[in-house]
Structures are given as C-alpha cells and as structure tokens.
Amino acid sequence: MNQYEVLYVIDASLDDEAVHAAVEKFKGIAESNGAEVSAVDEWGKRKLAYAINYKTEGYYVLMTFCSAPEFPKELERNMRNDEQIIRYMVTRKEA
C-alpha cells in the first residue's frame, strides 16, 4: 500500500452542511475502496489565487490516506464528476 494525499477545493458558496457532507462523502469513498484514511484537515474558506468558473473563494480540504495504487484514479474520477469540487490534486507521498 502506498501513502497518498489529496488536496481538493469545494465551492465556497455552499452552506456548512453541504461542505461537511462533501468531506464525508470523499472520506467514505476512500474507506469503502479499502483505503486507510489517516487524517482529514479542513483548512477552511480561502481566497483563490485566480478566479475559477467566476468563483474567487473555495473551501480547502487535505486528506491523507494509504491505499492500493489503483484507487487514486477512482478517487479522481469521482471528484471530476462532482460539481461541488472546483479543483483537486492527488499526490503520492514518499515513505
């Protein structure tokens, strides 16, 4: 199993319940696919460096997990299909 981290930005115009539901959704996707989630850091609402789809703020979340090498592609597919996610980046951490 490899160590990964994903940083994703949720649309800041959503209410707190919707943001929390999105965080729990992606944590649940990871756990249901056999990943071990070690940390979920919610950085909160921050200003974007540049406007994305006319949005200037986003809610940043950093999730660290261990999983099989095939899972990050599935996680990216789920994030790409979710309209609440503005941007995401999955990176492998060196042990």
Domain range for 28 is 2-93
What's the number of domains the chain is made of? 1
d(CA 42, CA 49): 18
Tokens 């989630």 belong to which residue?
37
Q: Alpha carbon of 13 to those of 21, 35, 47, 62, 86: distances in Å? A: 14, 30, 12, 19, 11
- Residue 36: the pLDDT is 95
- Residue 95: the pLDDT is 67
Q: State the pLDDT confidence band at 94, using cuts at 50, 70 and 90.
A: confident
Mean pLDDT of 75-79: 96
Residue type, 44: G
CATH classification at residue 41: 3.30.70.60
pLDDT tens for 3-51 read 999 999 999 999 999 999 999 999 999 999 999 999 999 999 999 999 9
d(CA 63, CA 78): 15
- In 1-95 the beta strands, taken as DSSP E runs, fall at 2-11, 36-52, 55-67, 85-93
